[in-house]
C-alpha cells in the first residue's frame, strides 16, 4: 500500500512538474517538484525511504527525458538519503527545516546532474546564468514546500496509517 501510494505521488509530481509548473517560470527558473517530494519524504520517513524514493523518482524522470539514464536517480537518491539522515536530529515540524533542505537538495541535485552530464561528455556552460537558474529553482521549490508541507505531513500520516491497517488485516 505504501509503495503504491509513493509511486502515485512520484508520478503526480512528475506530471505536475512537466505540465503545470513548466508553464509557470519564475525569472526563467522552474520548481523541481520531484526533489520537493523526495526531500519531504526523506525528512518524514528517514534516510532509507528517502534514498529509495529518490532513486526511483530520479530514474522515472530520466526515463521521461530519455537521456543520461540514471544520473537523476543517483542524484536524487543521495539527496533523499542526506535529507533523511540530517533530519533525524532536527525538529521536523518547523518550516525552516523543509525549506532549508529543499533549497540545498535542489542545488545539490542539479549540480550533481550537471557534473554527471559533464562526465559523460556533454558540454555544460558553467556561468553566472546557470548559477542564477539553479539558485532561483531552489528558492521556487522551497516556497512550494512551505505552502504544502503541513498537508504533506498529514498525507504521509494517512498513508502510514492505511499501510499499517492493510498489513494487519492481511
Looking up residue 96, the CATH number of its domain turns out to be 1.10.1760.20
Taking alpha carbons only, the member of 141, 108, 124, 147 closest to residue 25 is 141
Q: Which residues of 104-137 are buried (b: 16+ CB within 10 A; e: fewer)?
A: bbbbbbbebbbebeeeeeeeeeeeeeeeebbebb
CA–CA separation, 72 and 111 (whole Å): 11
pLDDT for res 9: 92
Q: How many domains does the chain have?
A: 1
Residue 29: φ, ψ to 5°: -110, 150
Taking alpha carbons only, the member of 95, 97, 104, 87 closest to residue 146 is 95
Domain range for 48:
2-169
Query: What is this structure's pTM?
Result: 0.91
Per-residue pLDDT of the chain (170 residues; tens, 9 = 90+): 788 898 899 999 999 988 988 888 888 888 999 999 999 999 999 999 999 999 999 999 999 887 789 999 999 999 999 999 988 888 777 888 899 999 999 999 999 999 998 998 888 888 888 889 899 999 999 999 999 999 999 999 999 999 899 888 87
- Residue 160: burial class (beta carbons within 10 Å; 0-12, 13-18, 19+): middle
Amino acid at each position: 500500500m505504501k509503495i503504491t501510494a509513493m509511486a502515485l505521488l512520484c508520478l503526480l509530481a512528475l506530471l505536475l512538474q512537466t505540465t503545470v509548473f513548466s508553464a509557470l517560470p519564475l525569472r526563467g527558473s522552474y520548481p523541481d517538484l520531484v526533489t520537493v517530494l523526495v526531500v519531504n519524504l526523506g525528512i518524514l520517513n528517514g534516510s532509507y525511504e528517502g534514498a529509495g524514493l529518490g532513486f526511483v523518482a530520479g530514474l522515472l524522470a530520466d526515463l521521461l527525458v530519455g537521456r543520461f539514464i540514471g544520473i537523476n536517480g543517483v542524484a536524487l537518491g543521495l539527496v533523499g538519503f542526506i535529507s533523511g539522515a540530517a533530519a533525524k536530529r532536527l525538529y521536523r515540524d518547523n518550516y525552516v527545516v523543509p525549506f532549508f533542505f529543499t533549497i540545498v537538495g535542489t542545488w545539490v541535485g542539479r549540480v550533481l546532474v550537471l557534473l554527471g552530464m559533464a562526465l559523460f561528455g556533454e558540454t555544460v556552460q558553467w556561468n553566472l546564468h546557470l548559477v542564477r537558474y539553479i539558485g532561483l529553482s531552489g528558492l521556487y521549490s522551497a516556497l512550494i514546500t512551505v505552502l504544502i508541507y503541513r498537508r504533506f505531513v498529514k498525507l504521509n500520516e494517512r498513508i502510514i496509517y492505511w499501510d499499517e491497517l492493510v498489513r494487519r488485516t492481511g
